[in-house]
Structure 1
Amino acid sequence: MAGWVDSGNAVQASVVALARELADPVRLTALQLLAAEGPHTMVQLADAMGVTPPRLGNHLARLRAAGLVTVEHTGRHAVYQVARADIADVLTAIARYAHHDDLTAPRRASSPVDVAHTCYDHAAGRLGISVLTTLVSAGALHPPDGRTGELVLGDDLTALHRLGVDARAVAPRRRLASACLDRTHRVPHLGGDLGRLVLDAFVADDLVRRQDGTRELLVTERGAARLPDLLPGFTPGP
C-alpha cells in the first residue's frame, strides 16, 4: 500500500509541476507555437508572440528546466522545440476544455475576421482551419508529429484537387505545407506554399475576395454556397 501511495504522490507532484508551467500565458503560448509550428529560434518565437526576447528567454529557461522544451545550437542560433511530441495532445485537450460552452460566461461577438482572414499569404480563421482539417481527414496530408510543423502529402490527393490545387505547383525552396497556429482560434490552419495555392484557388474561383488595406477575406455568395461542400463543417457566417 505504501508503495502505491508513494507512486501516486509522485504522479500528483508531476501533474502539479506541469500545471504550474502551463499556468503562465507566455509559457503556454510558447509551447503551443512550438507544438503546432515546429522549431523556432528565440527571436522567431518572440516576434510571433509579441514579447521581447529577454522576457521570453526567462520563460524558455523555465520550460527547459521542466523538461518541456529542448534547445539545439546551430551556429549562432539557439533553436527550441518541444521535448516530447505528446505535449501537443495535452495542449489540445486543455484548449478543448477551456472552450467548452459556459452559459454563464460573457462571449465576444463573432466577426467576419473570425471566419476568414489572411496570415501572410494563406487563409486563416475558420476557413484556414477547415482547409487543414479537411485535407488531413481526407488523407491528402499527413499531420505533423509535434517536433516540426511540417506536413507531408498523403496518398489520396482527391480532396486537394477538389479545392483546385495541383501540389506540383509549389514554389521551389518553399516549405510545402505547415500547421500554422491560428492566433484567433488557437488551433492550426494550413500554412506553407500549399496554403498559398489554396487561397489563390479560392480567390480565382471567386469563393473569397481580398479586402483592400485589410487582412479580412470576404466569403462571397458563391463561396457561401460552395465552401461548406468543399470543406465539411465550415460555416461561412459569423
Structure 2
Amino acid sequence: MSPLAETAGLLADRTRAAFCQALLDGRAWTAGELARHAGVRPSTASEQLSRLVDGGLLTEERQGRHRYVRLAGPEAAALVETLASYAPDVARPRDLRQSSRLGAEARARTCYDHLAGRLGVALADAMIARGLVADDAGLAVTPAGRGWLADSLDHQRPPANGRPLVRGCLDRTERRPHLAGALGAALCATALDRRWIRRVGTGRAVRVTRKGGEAFQELLGLTFQDDPPDPGGG
C-alpha cells in the first residue's frame, strides 16, 4: 500500500475521523474524553488512537494513568480541515443545542491554532485589502505585513521548523481560504491573549468581545457583522 493510501485510510474510519475533527480545537484530549465524544467504548478508542499515533497524525503523552493526544502539528491539522471542507454538508443538527453550537462555529472558531469561519475569512480579506498579504501569485506576507506583524502583534520570531509565514487553509464552512501559517497562529494567539476573542463553551467556537471589535476596526478596518461584539470580556 502506498503512503498516500495509508494516510487516507487513517481518516476513512468514522471514529478516527471524529477524533481528528475534535482535536482541531488545538487542545490535548484524553482517550476517555474522545471515546465519549465519538460514542465508542474506551477499548475501541484506545485501539483507534494507537493507529492514528502510529500513522503520524497524532502525538501522545502520558501523565499518570491518563493518556493525552493531540494533532501532530499544523500540517496534520491542515490535512483534516481540508478534507472536511470537501465533505458534503449533509449533517442536520440533532437538537437546538447542537444547532446553536454549529451556528457559533460557522461564525467564528479556531482551526487548530488559527481563526476560521466567517471571522477567519473576513480577517483574510481585510489583510489582503490593506496590502498586508498579497494573493497575486499564492499568498505571501508583504513588507508592510511584516511590519504590521511586528508593530501590532509583537511578532518578531521567524517561523519555526520551516513553517511558512502564511498559507491559505480552505475553510470547511465558508469554502474560501482563511489564513494559516505563522501569521494565522500569531493573530489567533494575540486575539486570545488580549481578549479580543473568547472561547464559547468547550468546543471550537469563539466570540468577538467589545475590545476585539474595536481592535479589529482600528488595526484592519474590519467591522465583523456576523457576530455582534460580546458585551463582556473587556
Using structure 1 for the length normalisation, give the TM-score. Answer: 0.48
Using structure 2 for the length normalisation, give the TM-score. Answer: 0.49
